[in-house]
Amino acid sequence: MSLPATNLNLPVPDNSPAGVYVSFTVTNQGFRVEHAALTVTLPHPRYGDLAINLTSPWGTTSRLAELHSSSGAGYSGWTLTSVRHWGEPAEGTWTVNIADLAAANSGTLLGLQLTLYGSVPAARLSRERAEDGFRVTLHAAAKGWNYALETSTNLAQWSQVAVLNPGPDGKASFTDTTPATALKFYRARHMP
């Protein structure tokens, strides 16, 4: 997923650790980050004066650029990447902070683009006969999520029978003791 912020025209204060902030709101529920990329357009005579941080909704901060001695035309569509956010849910507010940490030169932030690479982890179910019905076991790809366990006899109408919260091993079980008058199907749906 890619989120642009264009036509910003934000002056980055010279020699100010506070810098400027730009936020991106991600609404994709269930999306887990594998790596983050931030494309920066910021003309500055000494781009080595700039420190760039990306902070996730979970509070993890990636330092994408440090104060160093490089000079040049600045960032002209440069992409900086991080894997520090691996496994975090993408949903929420991502914040970019850009600060000029040395005196005598300044620049203007023209645009940013935040690109998050990842996937929506899939859960799988297994079913086995138990003494008093069927035991359905959820094998979750992402810890900390709740799942609605639903059942159907026709794959068209579904009814929730339980809420499963996998433990540290990524598993949760439910025993369905309702009598089956027909073949039963099960599915697990991630609950936000």
Q: What is the pTM of this model?
A: 0.71
pLDDT score recorded for residue 122: 77
Predicted pLDDT at 168: 80
Q: Please name every residue paired with 82 in a beta bridge, in sequence order, or none if there are none.
A: 36
Question: Higher model confidence: residue 134 or residue 62?
Answer: 62
The CATH H-level superfamily of 2-119 is Galactose-binding domain-like (2.60.120.260)
pLDDT at 143: 63
Instruction: Spell out the SS3 assignment of 98-118.
Output: EEECCCCCCEEECEEEEEEEE
DSSP conformation letters of 164-183: E---TTSEEEEEE-SPPSS-
- Domain residue spans in the chain? 2-119, 124-191
Output the pLDDT for position 142: 64
Whole-angstrom distance, CA of residue 70 vs CA of residue 80: 16
190 exposed, middle or buried (CB, 10 Å; 0-12, 13-18, 19+)?
middle
Q: Are 157 and 187 in contact (CB under 8 A)?
A: no
User: For residues 97 and 52, is the Cβ–Cβ distance under 8 A?
Assistant: yes
For the ranges 56-65, 92-101, 102-111, 130-139, the lowest mean pLDDT is seen at: 130-139
